[in-house]
């Protein structure tokens, strides 16, 4: 009987995202406050008869990516089902730890997408993380690894795949420094009410590198503020998010402390976003709305 292993990883929003200057390697150091959302990517790894790792993809019914598809805004062909797919790369990185390459196994990776694609919510990163977890479990179950790789090793393997992949492995609430990969988990004490998020998927996607490029160019022209000298997530924001006080009392302060340096460049590349933000903010149930990461998904916090 063929073995099948399923794993999930969450999409994310950045409640705080301060971006430092462009570095010589093309990346930026950041101060990020990541929050996992309850939209999960699912990767199922199944044994097949053919050598190599094949891939397939479906859309979770009723998910934000299904809404994106209804809007005509998600073209599945933008997700490459080849060796560049983040799920494939995540699986291959873990296989390497067992001294194996994709040609040495007969597997299919099925990706069930739920997080909007190219929406600034880390869906591809979540696929990478879920595939890493599934492969880790598969290799241990089939004796190719004597035991599962420890979580810290998975985190190390995750960074070269993308700045957001380590957080997709960790989940929860966490501060990300370095390029967003150096994580410090922020545990939510028992009884603390978590934020409730909603999302407005956009009719188009935005490329993450293009938004960072627009930020750099705009900073040079004086269009956007210069980078902070000291990249830090405000302690007050963390303290308020983890405080036992009722959420309704904490929401005004939380809202006033949200920040995203990529919002202005995303708006500049996609001016229609301004209207989406304005319409979302008018809803009486919405406390705060903001561009998620590099956009263009608009995230909101409900009361
Ligand atoms: C902006 C954020 C916020 O969480 O995500 P999204 O909102 O796009 O999902 C992340 O920083 C994106 O993470 P991820 O999508 O994994 O980025 P990567 O694949 O590593 O990088 C794509 C490109 O973004 C730019 N990049 C990314 C991260 C970073 N700290 N500095 C950068 O300059 C670089 O140009 C890089 O080549
Ligand atoms: N498994 C994957 N799912 C989605 N996109 C992927 C995947 N692997 C590679 N990509 C590429 O990464 C791009 C953006 O990925 P995604 O994670 O959806 O957006 P964002 O970086 O805005 O959070 C896609 O347009 C696609 O070309």
| 191 in a structural domain | no
Both 80 and 127 in one domain: the answer is yes
Ligand 2 centre and the CA of 129: distance in Å?
Answer: 13
Using CA atoms, how far residue 69 sits from 127, 270, 276, in Å, is 18, 19, 18
Least confident range from 72-76, 115-119, 198-202, 217-221: namely 72-76
Average pLDDT over residues 24-47: 98
d(CA 288, CA 303): 9
| pLDDT tens column, 162-194 | 999 999 999 999 999 999 999 999 999 999 999
Does position 201 have pLDDT exceeding 90, yes or no? Answer: no
Ligand 1 centre and the CA of 144: distance in Å?
Answer: 33
Residue 122 assigned as binding residue: yes
At which of 150, 185, 220 does a domain end?
A: 185
Average pLDDT over residues 117-145: 96
The total number of structural domains in the chain stands at 2
At which of 152, 185, 218 does a domain end?
A: 185
| 165 in a structural domain | yes
* Ligand in closest contact with the CA of 162: 1
Both 284 and 218 in one domain: the answer is yes
Both 146 and 258 in one domain: the answer is no
Does position 89 have pLDDT exceeding 90, yes or no? Answer: yes
Both 24 and 129 in one domain: the answer is yes
Whichever domain contains 288, its CATH number is 3.30.70.890
In which domain, by residue range, is 204 found? 196-302
Check residue 76 and give its pLDDT: 83
Whichever domain contains 120, its CATH number is 3.30.230.10
Check residue 92 and give its pLDDT: 98
Q: 169-191 burial string, b = 16+ CB within 10 Å, else e?
A: bbbebbbbbebbbbbeebeeeee
Which of 39, 164, 215 for a ligand 1 pocket mutation test, highest count of atoms within 8 Å of Cβ?
164
Both 26 and 166 in one domain: the answer is yes
Q: Is the CB of 119 under 6 A from ligand 2?
A: yes
Average pLDDT over residues 226-248: 96
Which of 19, 155, 163, 215 for a ligand 1 pocket mutation test, highest count of atoms within 8 Å of Cβ?
163
Q: Which residue has the tokens 């933000």?
A: 277
* Average pLDDT, rounded, for the chain: 96
Q: How confident is the model at residue 118 (pLDDT cuts 50, 70, 90)?
A: confident
Q: How confident is the model at residue 21 (pLDDT cuts 50, 70, 90)?
A: very high
């Amino acid at each position: 009987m063929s073995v099948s292993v399923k794993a999930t990883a969450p999409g994310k929003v950045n409640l705080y995202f301060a971006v430092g200057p462009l570095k010589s390697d093309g990346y930026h150091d950041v101060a990020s406050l990541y929050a996992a959302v309850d939209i999960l990517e699912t990767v199922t790894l199944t044994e097949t008869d053919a050598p190599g790792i094949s891939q397939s993809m479906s859309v979770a019914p009723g998910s934000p990516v299904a809404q994106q598809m209804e809007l005509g805004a998600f073209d599945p062909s933008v997700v490459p089902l080849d060796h560049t797919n983040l799920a494939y790369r995540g699986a291959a990185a873990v296989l390497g730890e067992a001294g194996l390459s994709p040609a040495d196994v007969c597997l299919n990776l099925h990706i069930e997408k739920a997080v909007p694609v190219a929406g600034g919510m880390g869906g591809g990163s979540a696929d990478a993380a879920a595939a890493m977890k599934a492969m880790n479990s598969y290799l241990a179950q089939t004796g190719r690894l004597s035991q599962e790789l420890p979580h810290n090793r998975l985190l190390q393997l995750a960074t070269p795949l993308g700045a957001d992949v380590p957080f997709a492995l960790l989940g929860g609430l966490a501060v990300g420094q370095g390029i967003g990969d150096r994580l410090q988990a922020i545990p939510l004490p028992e009884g603390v009410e978590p934020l409730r998020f909603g999302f407005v998927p956009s009719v188009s996607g935005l490329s993450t590198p293009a938004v960072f490029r627009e930020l750099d160019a705009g900073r040079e022209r004086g269009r956007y503020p210069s980078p902070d000298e000291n990249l830090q997530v405000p302690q007050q924001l963390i303290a308020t998010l983890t405080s036992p006080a009722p959420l309704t009392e904490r929401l005004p302060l939380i809202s006033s402390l949200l920040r995203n340096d990529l919002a202005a460049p995303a708006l500049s590349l996609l001016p229609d976003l301004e209207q989406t933000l304005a319409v979302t903010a008018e809803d009486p149930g919405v406390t705060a709305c903001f561009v998620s990461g590099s956009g263009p998904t608009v995230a909101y916090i409900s009361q």
